[in-house]
Structure 1
Amino acid sequence: MSILSASAWLLAGIGLCLCLPAPPDAVLLSMIAALAVVSLLRTHWRPFAVLCAGMLLAGLHASWSLSSQLPVSMEHGVFLLRGTVSGMPIHEARRTRFEFLVDDVDAMPEALRGARLRLAWYDDFDVETPPPDAPRLRLAAGSRWVLSAKLRAPRGLRNPGSVDGEKHAFVDRIVAGGYVRAPETARQLRGPRGIDAWREAMSRRIERAVPDASSRFLRALALGDTRGLDDEDWSVLRANGLTHLIAISGFHVGLVAGFFALMASATWWLFPLLGRVAPRVQASALAALAGAAIYAAMAGFALPTVRTLLMIAVVAIARLSRRAWRPWSAVAMSVVAMLVVDPLAVLTAGFWLSFGGVVWLLWCLPDGGGSPVRDFLSAQAVATVGLLPLTVALFGQASLAGPFANLLAIPWWSLVVVPLSLVGLALEALHAGWGAWPWRLAAWAFDPSWSLFETMAGSPLALWWLPEARWYALPLALLSAFWCLLPRALPGKPLALLLWLPLLWPDRQAPDPGEVEVVVLDVGQGLSVLVRTANHHLLYDMGPAIPEGFDAGERAVVPALHALGVRALDAAVVSHGDNDHAGGFESVAAVFPMRWVFAPEGSNRPAAVPGLRQCRAGDAWTWDGVRFRVLHPTPHFPYLRNESSCVLRIETAHRAVLLTGDIGHVIERGLLRHDPAAVRAEVVLMAHHGSDGSSDPGFVAATGARFAPVSAGYGNRFRHPKPAVVERWRYRGARTPLTAETGAQRLRLTAAGIAYEDERTRRRRLWDAVARRARAE
């Protein structure tokens, strides 16, 4: 069996295991191991043996990663920890986020020995205007500390289109997350040391040497330090398809390796006697490997650099063994090496984009041989067409400006800006201050290109957001890309383009006229509900936002709306001004045009915006055969925060939905007295996240609800929803799905009934924290 075939079967086995809904237990792993041994003894079954080996390898890594996470019984406990700050901390206005590697010693809790944690250190004062004598925390990379932290197992929100935080913790082997308790008691044991401390020190020197805004990009390009980039910077990079270049990329590692190989070859040419010690070819290979390793260390061994380092190592080994390996064999060996070291890397987007790009280029441009400009343009065209399906499937977006931006950025940044930045690092390492002039030259070269990319990103056509497609859309698009990249003489290419449609023009699965779909998004301790009719969209609340911290509007609501195919909002309702309901408004409004915005009179959230209207009882309108009616607050009702919540009734020809905000017993009883028929609905959003101040027994009975969704965060400090309140709804026959357990919930009201689906059930994941917690209990 060839190495190419072995790598494909190994990848298939790992992928098959990671697609399981739960990690394989010891019995299943033993059976897979036995099958691998038996298959290995028969020549024709060896591919199956490699498949089993892949499943076994992935199963062992997955089981270890999940079993090492903080047990449910220890969640929300406070632990005294001693360890080292790993990586470079991210300093924000009111907090510092960092990874903490706990010492593997007997003095530490057994479940946390050697654990990697993600922690936050919150400041007690507003650092924008700190007291004159207030000490500012400067947690340094590589420093050792003793501190107390409140921890919980990794857990994330689950919405269509949003980042899966649980998956990232699973891949990165994060044991727990939390925050530092009693920061004044924390004690530093040792100052910064190691490669991360050196990287942070160099980052500060670049910042001092290049005081203008472009220094943040130089730090990213030279050291992989993206801490200085803000959301606007990342938006410009995404719109231009340049995120793969802004930090240390595999291409940059290859350039450094090539420079080291060239220098070694030149040295051997100048001093021929060195050939008696080692042949020039082997010396160049070792120099390339050493250069790649040094540069990967400077990047903190980020995954893209590790992949390239492995590929260079394979080529170097081939040179040292004096065997001529074909490019396909080198790539296959790199895949095998990567998967053996870390099979969970299959779950990262970078793995597929990196190796996918190399495979496309090797298949379509095996020899090159033309002019450098023509080869570069051909490679760019192949990468654009070949990687577009993966980009859309992984990120839900396509950069129409990307091919043009990369034509400039790849040669200019990689051949001018990055080398100057690296020369600055080398000179600065020799003597403090020597690196200033290359860094300033690099900034001078970088600034004009960034101005151009900002202009390109401002075009409405730069970035194209696409709804989530069905599972078969990606294979069809890849088949179409394969067909389009075949030799020109092959027929049927125009017809092959039709295979792109399920991915680039997917069905939004909008309700039929007269029907309505309600999507209760998972925003933590807050609320956001999307209401869809056949041709209209209404967003009820936008979730919480913490200054310099988590913004549910940006992190959860906006990606979910993109994934659901929303391009604009016909109406937005801010039920009341509390942060857990209105905090994400600005982030959502910055992305989606809003025709109407409703808010209670007297609320200061949102501030004056175009289309702002008072939310008053009696307001009504009809979209696509679905009637919307405001039940509360009544005209001239004083603004009383929760009690002023805008209550919205949504009626189809057969069923109704009631969105209640944070109203309490008094308002619920008032609604029941004023119009008992108006509160009757099959779907009723449980008011105030299931607090004991809401869900009056009479109101619950009068609704006759079959579903009472609850939007509340896992382990929230209010302990919502209250068990007695949940039981009250269940006693009346309602299902009470909780977003903290289900993720986003979708309820579609049709003439045939109510179709319910939640995100965690729709897409079961091996690393699902909810399923793991249920099994533990």
Structure 2
Amino acid sequence: MSDAAGTPLFGVGAAAGLVGGATACLLLPWLLPWPVALIGLVAGLLAWVRMPRWRWAGALLAGFMLAGLHAAHGLALQLPGGLDRADLLVRGTVVDLPVHEPRRTGFLFEVDDSAESAPALRGRTVRLSWYLHGRSAARPELRAGERWSLRIRARAPRGLRNPGGSDAEKHALAQRIAATGYVHAPATARRLAPAAGLEAWREGMADRIAASAPTTTSRFVRALALGDTRGLDDTDWNVLRANGLTHLIAISGFHVGLVAGFFALLARAFGWLVPALARRCPMPALAAGSAFAGALLYAAAAGFSLPTVRTVLMIAAVAGARVWRRPATATQALALAAVAVVLVDPLALLQAGFWLSFAGVAWLLWCLPGTGERGLPALARSFVSAQGVATVGLLPVGVVLFGQASLAGPVANLVAVPWWSLVVVPLSLVGLAAESLIEGLGAWPWRLAAWCFDLSWPMFDWLASAPLALWWLPEARWFALPLAIIGAFWLLMPRGLPGRPLALLLWLPLLWPDRRLPAHGEVELQVLDVGQGLAVVVRTANHSLLYDMGPAVPDGFDAGERAVVPALHALGIGRLDLAIVSHGDSDHAGGLAAVRRAVQSDSTLAPEGSGVEASRPCVAGQTWQWDGVTFRVLHPTPHFPYLGNEAGCVVRVESRHGAVLLTGDIGEVIERELVRREPDGVKADVVMVAHHGSGGSSDPMFIRATGAQHALVSSGHGNRFGHPKPAVVARWHESGAAVHDTAIGGALRVSIAANGISIETRRKAQPRLWDAVARSGPMDAGLSYRP
């Protein structure tokens, strides 16, 4: 549709404005009041439709306001803070495939509107865990599509905030998840109705694939046919990431497009065989409708996951243009699809898949115009060129979204895209269709699909083991992405353009960013947000030290893998000069194994008797210097027995501009002993509050002896211990110290430099509109306890 001047109502300009407006809204740390947003949305839509010359501006305003309304609604759905950890009775349906782990079962639960359910969660979706308590605990027989009555404890979505870490709160908002929690009283849980519906069918089919193709590769067949990735372990995902193949697993948008194209070809063939049908229904309309139907069926098999729904909307937009006989180029079709996706769900822009899919198609349309050549050689050249364009064009987006680049990706995709997409996926879907008609008929296609997949996997496993297969990059500044995109455009310009190699200079801020390293004689600390545990990264000009590695639960959450390793990558630390484990408790040493797997460490110190393997004893008196900064161990003394917390390794870090004291989990007895034995050693400008601010630490005499300006607390948000204790916070306040807590502000960046001591919280440095802190008041409030 276009106006008299020929400006398309849903053209490239309108699409760019709509996407740009929605993106701008989601990047801001605040939201407009909903009445203002509603008025702005109406004004924007009117300008979009009625003012052709300002159509792009109207679309931009409409996108901004629409995204704001959706975000406000999504946040309003979340559980109020006053109900955190309250016992709630809910009735509802398991709406996704339950993930069974050794010690828990995780699942999505859609709460009914019935009067029996807690009012705060009626009609909302929550993410729950059903934990197994004790070795003899029976695993719950939980199936997708079942209705249950459960007593739960839940809270509003809350995640860790660290450099390089994923944002759980953003993901919850995009998924419209109202709360996260766990089944509080498993004995009272009651199944109200057996499994039924689409999700029950998906789980049943997944079980049949596992039974029909009893090889380890059947997990990939389940992923490609049903989007069921529950069988993939960490090793599988590491291989896929190293090869840049995660986009092909779990029913990618590309595969949905292939199915849609296959259905369109079937419709054309059927129309050719039945001419009477072609006379009644125009062939373009028949093909478009069939393509949409095929995409819809495949999306249903995937449980209408967001990537598939996004692709279905794109196909629906293009199919609609064909049915209504609106001439549209490939670029106009892409713009129409973008408009459709944003109008239906502007929060889709919070998903990495949106940017990768649209950016990938846009790059190909711009760089690979049709040449008119036909035949297999031309097709092969086009495919190789497409891989080159995708590699160069999507590299900046991938680095910003994931902090990594797959150097093996171009080679791996040359094999995986045609082999998996044209052989493995069709066989998997043939088995799915056959099994749906006659039970047992899908076994042979599934076995053949698994065998074909097995032929390719050893190659990808070998590529992933190459030293440079996966390239981790430090976190870059905000301007690095636009500069790199400009550089990509310049680099992909026609060959005759002079100065194309100079485009690589624009990539330097992204590929070689400023790591904000301290100068000689200065020191920086990053107290990571690891929940109820501790992990501190200490950097000097040329050295890095890691003090504790965060908590880890067997077969469960591992802060070393989820928080510490991504933070080290984001900080550009590929090798640790020293790792110190304060003591052997799991909330401090649990993440050590994950850190050792990912990052090389020259040496490890730990108290003797702590059980930390491959470590040297941490003993008072040890001292060393790095880049003008002195490190000294104050505790434990030689021959001190291992007593858990009380034997913790206490380290003093001193520069010419200030000192830091890292205390682990020591208690009041050891604190008083340090004051007596090391009166000058405990003096520090910044102190890590011992034992997460428990009532058994932070002795008043010790606090006075430190003379600290800043006290740092590492604790979990809403932890069951109540750390830090209010009395402890009050004692530090009375001494004149400001108390900063990772549970409130996320990771803490402490800089001790020539210009003084500064402390920056992650949530304040990078505020987001979905932050609970941001919604509770001004961004400069609530991020620390102040005297």
TM-score scaled by length of structure 2: 0.96
Say whether residues 1:362 and 2:365 are aligned partners. yes
Residues in 1 aligned to 2:591 and 2:76: alpha-carbon distance in whole angstroms: 35
Distance 1:39 1:419, change over 3 A: closer
Determine the structure 1 residue equivalent to 2:681.
678
1:235 and 2:242 correspond: no
Match of 1:532 in 2: 539
In 2: Cα distance, 1:176 partner to 1:84 partner? 15
SS of 1:679's partner is: coil
CA distance in 2, matches of 1:321, 1:753: 67
Partner residue of 1:597?
A: 604
Question: Do residues 759 (structure 1) and 772 (structure 2) align?
Answer: no
Is residue 2:558 matched to residue 1:555?
no
Match of 1:20 in 2: 28
Q: Which among 311, 328, 331 is matched to residue 328 of structure 1?
A: 331
Q: Aligned equivalents of 2:41 and 2:718: distance in 1?
A: 39
Report the equivalent of 2:474.
467
Mapping of 1:172-191 within 5 angstroms? Answer: 172-191=175-194
Pick the aligned partner of 1:441 from 435, 448, 451.
Answer: 448
Q: Does 1:734 align with 2:743?
A: no
Find 1:29's aligned residue among 30, 34, 37.
Answer: 37
Distance 1:773 1:93, change over 3 A: farther
Aligned to 2:354: 351
SS of equivalent to 1:421: helix
Confirm or deny that 1:374 pairs with 2:366.
no
Query: How far, CA to CA, are the matches of 1:178 and 1:37 in structure 2?
Result: 40
Paired residues of 2:87 and 2:153 also in contact (CA < 8 A): yes
Following TM superposition, by how much is the alpha carbon of 1:154 offset from its aligned partner in structure 2, in angstroms? Answer: 0.4
SS in 1 for 2:696: coil
**Matched residues in 2 for 1:383 and 1:38: separation?**
37
Select which of 149, 155, 169 maps to 1:166. 169
Q: In the alignment, is the contact (CA less than 8 A) between 1:600 and 1:646 conserved in 2?
A: yes
The alignment status of 1:522 with 2:525, answered yes or no, reads no
Distance 1:543 1:563 in 2: 17
Tell me how far apart the structure 2 counterparts of residues 68 and 358 of structure 1 sit (CA, whole Å): 34
Secondary structure of 1:709's partner?
strand
Partner of 2:58: 49
Q: Counterpart of 1:511?
A: 518
1:310-329 matched pairs, under 5 angstroms: 310-329=313-332
Letter matched to residue 98 of structure 2: P
1:573-622: CA deviations, max 9, x gaps?
Answer: 10001111011110111111111101001111x2x22xx20000001111
User: Could you tell which deviates more after superposition, 280-289 or 493-502?
Assistant: 280-289
The CA deviation at 1:42 is 4.9
Cα contact 1:304–1:354 (8 A) shared by 2: no
Alignment of 1:93 with 2:90, yes or no, is: no
Which of 257, 264, 270 is 1:254 aligned to? 257
Deviations 1:17-76 (A, max 9, x none): 112212221354256347537756655444322222111111110111111110111111
Determine what percentage of the aligned residue pairs are the same residue.
61
Distance (whole Å) between structure 1 residues aligned to residue 215 and residue 34 of structure 2: 57
Q: Distance in 1 between matches of 2:367 and 2:235?
A: 36
**Structure 1 residue 185: deviation in Å?**
1.0
Q: Helix, strand or coil: the match of 1:154?
A: coil
Unmatched tracts of structure 2, length 5 or more: 1-6, 783-787
- Cα distance in 2 for partners of 1:45, 1:402 equals 42
Matched, 1:717 2:720: yes
SS in 2 for 1:69: coil
Alignment deviations for residues 548-570 of structure 1 (CA, whole Å, 9 cap, x no partner): 21111110101011001100111
Cα distance between partner residues in 1 of 2:372 and 2:145: 47
1:155 pairs with 141, 153, 158, which one?
158
Whichever residue aligns with residue 699 of structure 1, its letter is F
2-side partners of 1:488 and 1:38: how far apart? 44
Q: Which residue of 1 aligns with 2:3?
A: none
Q: Which runs of 5+ in 1 are unaligned?
A: none
> Partners of 2:569 and 2:555 in 1: how far apart?
24
Corresponding residue to 2:635 among 616, 632, 635: 632
1:113 aligns with 2:122: yes
Distance in 2 separating the partners of 1:396 and 1:547: 27
Give 2:769's aligned amino acid. L
Residues 152-202 of structure 1 show CA distances to partners (whole Å, capped at 9, x for unaligned) of: 110000000000000001111110010001111111111111111111111
Counterpart of 1:656 in structure 2: which amino acid?
A
Matching residue of 2:4: none
Residue 123 of structure 1 is matched in structure 2 by 132
Show the counterpart of 1:301.
304
How far apart, in 1, do the equivalents of 2:104 and 2:299 lie? Answer: 29
**TM-score, normalisation: structure 1:** 0.97
Shift of 1:479: 0.4
Using the TM superposition, name which of 20-29 and 197-206 deviates more: 20-29
Counterpart CA distance in 2 for 1:653 and 1:62 is: 47
Q: Name the CA distance, whole Å, in 2 between partners of 1:603 and 1:368.
A: 68
SS in 2 for 1:212: coil
Deviation string, structure 1 residues 210-251 (Cα, Å, up to 9, x no partner)? 111101111111111001001111000000000000110111
1:698-750 per-residue CA deviation (whole Å, 9 max, x = no partner) reads 11011010111100001111100011111111111111110000100011111
Residues 82 and 147, structure 1, Cα contact 8 Å, conserved in 2: yes
1:421-444 deviation per Cα after TM superposition (whole angstroms, max 9, x unaligned): 111111111111111111111111
Indicate if the aligned counterparts of 2:29 and 2:774 stay in contact, CA closer than 8 A.
no
Change in 2 beyond 3 A, CA 1:295/1:27:
closer
Cα distance in 1, alignment partners of residues 708 and 442 from structure 2: 69
Partner letter of residue 224 of structure 1? G
Conserved 8 A contact 2:108-2:128: yes
Partner Cα distance (1:366, 1:313) in 2:
24
Match of 1:102 among 111, 114, 126: 111
Aligned to 1:108, the other structure's residue is in SS state coil
* Distance in 1 (alpha carbons) for counterparts of 2:514 and 2:423: 44
Give the residue type in structure 1 aligned to 2:21.
G
Distance 1:321-1:479 versus aligned 2 partners, 3 A rule: same
What's the counterpart of residue 484 of structure 2?
477
Q: Deviation of residue 774 (structure 1)?
A: 5.2
Q: Does 1:395 align with 2:402?
A: yes
2:662 to 642, 659, 662: 659
Opposite residue 121 of structure 1, the aligned amino acid is: W
SS in 1 for 2:98: strand
Q: Is the 8 A contact 1:573 1:598 kept in 2?
A: yes
Q: Which amino acid aligns with 1:397?
A: Q
Deviation, 1:770, is: 2.3
Cα RMSD over matched residues? Answer: 1.5
Distance in 2 (alpha carbons) for counterparts of 1:26 and 1:100: 28
How far did residue 649 of structure 1 move? 0.4
CA contact (8 A) 1:368 1:375 kept: no
Q: Deviation per CA, 1:654-677, whole angstroms, max 9, x where unpaired?
A: 311100000111101111111201
Of 5, 29, 33, which residue of structure 1 is paired with 2:13?
5
- Partner of 2:76 in structure 1? 67
* Equivalent position amino acid for 1:36 in 2: G
- Equivalent-residue separation in structure 1 for 2:727 and 2:645 (angstroms): 21
**Distance across 1 between alignment mates of 2:256 and 2:104:** 33
1:112-132 Cα offsets, whole Å, 9 max, x none, are: 111100000011233xxx5xx
